[in-house]
Amino acid sequence: MPPRARTLSAIACLAAFLAAAVPVSVPAQTQNYENAYLVAANFENASLQNVNFQNANLQRADMEGADLRGANLRGANLRGANLQSASLQGANLQGAILRSASLQQANSQDTIFQNANLQGANLQSALLYGADLRGANLAQANLFGANLQTANLQNANLVDTNLAGTNLLNANLQGAQRFAVRMQPVTHVMAKRPITATVVTKPRAVVKKATAKPKALAKIQPVKHLTVAVAPARTPTPTPTPIPAVVPLPTPAPAASPALLAVRSAPTPSPTPSSSPGPTLIRLSANRVAFFYDRFLVEADGNVHVHTSDGMTMSGDSFSMDLKLNRFLLAGHVHLQNSSGSQDGAAVADFLEFNRIYFVPLTRASQSATGIPDRWTFIGGDFANPAKGREMPGDTFYFPDLGNAKPYIIATSAVIGSHSFVRFGGGRFDAGEGLGAYVPVPSYYVNFSTDQHLGDNSLAGANYDATWEFAGNANAISALHFRYDTVNKTYMAFEQHLSGKKAYAVFSLNPMTRPSKFWSLLLSDRPSDRTQIRTFTQLHTFQFGLKSPLESQQVTTVQATQALSGSFLQANYQFENFSLLPLGCYQGHCTVPNHPSSLFITGQTFDHPLTPYFDQDARIWAHLTYGFGFQHDSLGLQTLGGVNYPTIWQHQLGFEMYMPNLKFGPDLSIPTKYYAINASFEKQRQWNSTPHYIDTTQGKISLSKILNRQVLAYLDYSVENVGDIYSGSLQSTVYPGFTPIVNGISYPGYQAFHGIATFRTLSLGVNYSNGGNVAFNLLLRKHTDFPAPIPFFFQFAQPDLLGNSAVQNYLGQPPYDATADLRLRINPHMSIDIQRTYYFNYSNLRWSPQFVFQVLQ
């Protein structure tokens, strides 16, 4: 079969696979999730039209943007679910628990919410036109801006509901309970029936003014057209909160003790997380400061002193801070002091996130010689006016249960930057990662911010890397790496990170203690949310210490990305100097004179569904890529027909389509009872200014099955066809057929190879995982390639240190390989991964040259 026909045949086979798969998606249209356990399930943007979710548990499910038109959610538990922007038109939510669910901007037109529990639900801007909310519990629901036009709110509980800006035109509010409804300005209310029996009964009325009466909030006047009414803002009625049992007061309330004056920010009315420009700094010292890395807890005991960046000084016996929750507790003989006063007490808890300080003082101004305990809450840093007796959260003063856990760091002081870092001074850290092998260090820095750029590294992979971050703050880290890999063995590396709001930089020297050094600099700037510029510069030197280098090469890449509405453009420019030294040889290290450069501008569209009406997972998605650019090397890139080409212009066009997850089986709601198929197909052609083009076609299809909670298996088949097509007789000039003879054996089959290769791979994979402690993967592969592999003829593509191949398919890859990978979690901080491949004696190769061994932290 000629190569081109072979290519077409492969494409046709794959197309047939896809075509055959399409009809299978039809049953997925009528999915049945009745009584299904779908807690935290991801239905983001899913097409769930007419799906039956009756009595399903959809707690915290992500249904953002999902199409739920006509879906049956009767009795479903949607507590905490995210239904933002979901289309619920005509859906039956009768009796559904939607407590705390977010229905923001959801289209709930004509939806049946009858008796649904929407307590606390966020219905902001929701389209509830004509929705049946009869008897629904909307207590504390946020209906700001919601369109309730013609909605039936008969007997609905609207206690403390935020109806600001709500359009209630023709809504039926008969019998609805509305106590202390928050009526913000710009409220459209046109009720068909009165809100309560005390309100004047007039059709199509508009609220002019809210009154102070609890049950008759609006004075209704008959009007013909909808007008904007302005109602004065009302103070929300405090939510009825259970009051604890009355505490016997031994003495009459005396005057308050010397108050601390306000030193923090202005009081905030509600405990919303503060967004301060910089982190609050907490300087801590104690006889023993311990850090538990797996729980991000800082625990200190004995002679504890705390200074906060806002001027507060505290002392006590024990300190506990949860870095993630951003709150700390100081207990035992607590003394608070700032420039204006002081106060003693038993414990203080500072919830930095919410600007709340909870304090148990011992008030000495009373008749009691010993002081009387009390409970004060400082709100928003207002120390002059504590809220006395105010109920506190239940776990305010709780210490974490540490059990027998060993701290990762033991020190005597720490500086904590809220939400960003903690830096310990004068201590020791557990180099054994949980084994208790403590190594003294002058300082230790731990970053826990959500800024991933502080973790952006410019180091190559290593089998083992122990990082000592010895200095840093909220925007910078200085680190030494102690590393091991099978090429460089043990060595050290240095890395410096800098990060700001929009830009970051990383500099590294790796390995620092070996002659072959790589000096890397990464820079990134994001001038807007749609534009990003990144550069990467690497200098390689071969030098002993900092003596004159014997080799020096450099590469720089500049990448600029611009997001468009349905696609993005990217420009990549790269230039290289294969030697920065004068031409010649230096102790056997000879220079290479080339200095190639390249520029490529590419565009790629977003993934678009080709089959939008299919189920989300069964849809076929596609995108296009296109681009143009050039490659240049003044010494020449390619010689063809006696002509040397120093510059080659290229342009390319490609497309990719894939189907992520088509499920079939007796029960699609239970993972062990269905099979999943996914497939992809991509085709790209690259035209060159030299007379040839390169076609790359790849198709993949895989079938997977979850066998039980721990074991999963998959079967995968892929075909890749690469054709380097020259015009006319040049094809046989560039790719002349010949019969290689290796070790006395001739391989005439290679004669047929004229620049078009086909790589077929059949894979069987099994993976086992027992909840994160042990994972085992086995991958068996069979390659059926053209040209067929010839032992000792082709160069073998060595995998890198971590077992990854730089190329997917290459000529002469072993026909069979089996890779086993075992990962063991040896303590809460560390896993060990061991991997090795067996090649079934191809080219005298049995096992991969070495085990791939990696410590994951």
Q: Does 543 bind other proteins (CB under 8 A)?
A: no
Rounded CA-CA distance 267/379 in Å is 6
Rounded CA-CA distance 801/788 in Å is 27
Between 211 and 739, CB nearer to other proteins: 739
Question: 3-class SS at 486?
Answer: coil
Hey, what are 778's tokens?
Answer: 């086995």
Rounded CA-CA distance 466/483 in Å is 6
Hey, what are 615's tokens?
Answer: 């189920």
Residue list 346-385, contact with other proteins (CB under 8 A):
346-347, 354, 356, 358, 360, 362-363, 366, 370-377
Q: In this chain, which of 102, 109, 174, 697 binds other proteins, going by CB under 8 A?
A: 102
Q: List all residues 6 or more positions away from 235 whose beta carbon is below 8 Å from its beta carbon.
A: none
Hey, what are 72's tokens?
Answer: 């049956």
Residue list 61-90, contact with other proteins (CB under 8 A):
80-82
Pattern of binders to other proteins over 587-626, x per CB under 8 A? -------x-x-x-x-xxx-xx-----------------x-
Closest CA to 434 of 776, 825, 854, 834: 825
Q: Which helix (H) or strand (E) holds 608?
A: strand 608-609
Residue list 312-341, contact with other proteins (CB under 8 A):
316-318, 324-325, 331-334
- Residue 841, Ramachandran bin (φ over 0: left; ψ between -120 and 50: alpha; else beta): left
Ramachandran angles phi, psi of 211, nearest 5°: -100, 175
Q: Does 857 bind other proteins (CB under 8 A)?
A: yes
Q: List all residues 6 or more positions away from 283 whose beta carbon is below 8 Å from its beta carbon.
A: 306, 307, 308, 413, 414, 415, 416
Q: Does 243 bind other proteins (CB under 8 A)?
A: yes
Q: Does 654 bind other proteins (CB under 8 A)?
A: yes
Residue list 171-230, contact with other proteins (CB under 8 A):
none
Q: In this chain, which of 7, 92, 108, 142 binds other proteins, going by CB under 8 A?
A: 142
DSSP label at residue 43: -
**Contact in structure between 297 and 323 (CB atoms under 8 Å):** yes
Pattern of binders to other proteins over 789-818, x per CB under 8 A? ---xxxx-x-x--xxxxxxx-xxx------
Residue-wise over 568-594: b if at least 16 C-beta within 10 A, else e?
A: bebbbbbebbbbebeeeebeeeebeee
Q: Does 729 bind other proteins (CB under 8 A)?
A: no
Count of residues that interact with other proteins, criterion CB under 8 A: 211
Residue list 672-691, contact with other proteins (CB under 8 A):
676, 678, 680, 682, 684, 686, 688, 690
Residue list 404-443, contact with other proteins (CB under 8 A):
none
Q: In this chain, which of 267, 399, 665, 824 binds other proteins, going by CB under 8 A?
A: 399
* Tokens 């990170």 -> residue: 497
Residue list 545-584, contact with other proteins (CB under 8 A):
553, 555, 557, 559, 561-564, 568, 570, 572, 574, 576, 578
Q: Does 772 bind other proteins (CB under 8 A)?
A: yes
Smallest gap from Cβ 612 to other proteins, in A, equals 16
Smallest gap from Cβ 170 to other proteins, in A, equals 27
Rounded CA-CA distance 359/337 in Å is 13
Q: List all residues 6 or more positions away from 418 whose beta carbon is below 8 Å from its beta carbon.
A: 279, 280, 281, 282, 326, 352
Q: In this chain, which of 12, 19, 20, 40 binds other proteins, going by CB under 8 A?
A: 40
The count of residues in the chain is 857
Q: Does 246 bind other proteins (CB under 8 A)?
A: yes
Q: Does 450 bind other proteins (CB under 8 A)?
A: yes
Ramachandran angles phi, psi of 830, nearest 5°: -145, 140
Q: Which stretch binds other proteins (CB under 8 A): 130-138, 259-267, 335-343, 449-457?
A: 449-457
Smallest gap from Cβ 835 to other proteins, in A, equals 9
Residue list 120-139, contact with other proteins (CB under 8 A):
120-122
Q: Does 452 bind other proteins (CB under 8 A)?
A: yes
Between 186 and 832, CB nearer to other proteins: 832
Q: In this chain, which of 36, 191, 314, 757 binds other proteins, going by CB under 8 A?
A: 757
